[in-house]
Structure 1
Amino acid sequence: MPSKAYVLLREAILTEQQVACTYDGRPRELCPHIIGHNKSGEEVVLAWQFAGASSGKLPQWRCLRLAHVSDISLREGRWHEGGSHRSEQTCVSTIDLDINIHVRKRR
């Protein structure tokens, strides 16, 4: 059974909503793009973080382990596509939902 964080982030992808959350104690604002599990079987999401706190410069791609995500809220707002896709993502090994494949291609 998926975690509450997984269900909410999956819904955000399907409805193209922004997400405000806390990750490892830092407030984050992001748009999730791909959700599923990593090689260890942990729930993960690949997201474009466009605002909030960060140890590096923003915006940037983030691979978040959902066990470390809390205080999640979905909100309306401009969908952020993210930067360059020059390399293949390695965050999500077993993809459940990818906005570019499962959501946008249905339209």
Structure 2
Amino acid sequence: MNETEIRRAIQNKLIVEFTYSNHLRVVEPHVLGVCNGSKQILGYQVAGQSSSGGLPEWRRFDLARMSNFRVTTETFPGRRPFPSGQHSPWDQELEIVPA
């Protein structure tokens, strides 16, 4: 997993694809941060599969559990309203999608 590639995707509003919990995820990455000592991204999953509910939906992903990571050339329009109260707070925010 290349943190530089994740940062580039966030800065340039590029959709990413990766495998997580044996499911393909297609995600708009909005925040790269640290929570409880783990680097994670908060993203809006727009396609792929998930065993924890319907799509599209906000999800947090541990970088250590991601595989087959790829930055696509497809862009997304920018920030969506963040899901207040649904996710634990960040210990540190490393990168946030531009407005």
Q: State the TM bucket, normalised to the shorter chain.
A: 0.7 to 0.9
Deviation, structure 1 residue 64: 0.4
Structure 2 Cα separation of the partners of residues 90 and 80 of structure 1: 25
> Which structure has more helix as a fraction of its residues?
1
> Which structure has more strand as a fraction of its residues?
2
TM, length-normalised to structure 2: 0.84
TM, length-normalised to structure 1: 0.78
Aligned to 2:14: 17
Percent identity between the two aligned chains: 27
Q: Answer yes or no: is the 8 Å Cα contact 2:13–2:77 preserved in 1.
A: no
Q: Answer yes or no: is the 8 Å Cα contact 2:58–2:83 preserved in 1.
A: no
Gaps of 5+ in 1: none
Pair 1:53 & 2:52 matched: no
Instruction: Give the total of aligned pairs.
Output: 97
Deviation, structure 1 residue 98: 1.1
Pair 1:62 & 2:41 matched: no
Q: Answer yes or no: is the 8 Å Cα contact 2:30–2:79 preserved in 1.
A: no
How big is the alpha-carbon RMSD for the aligned residues of Structure 1 and Structure 2? 2.1
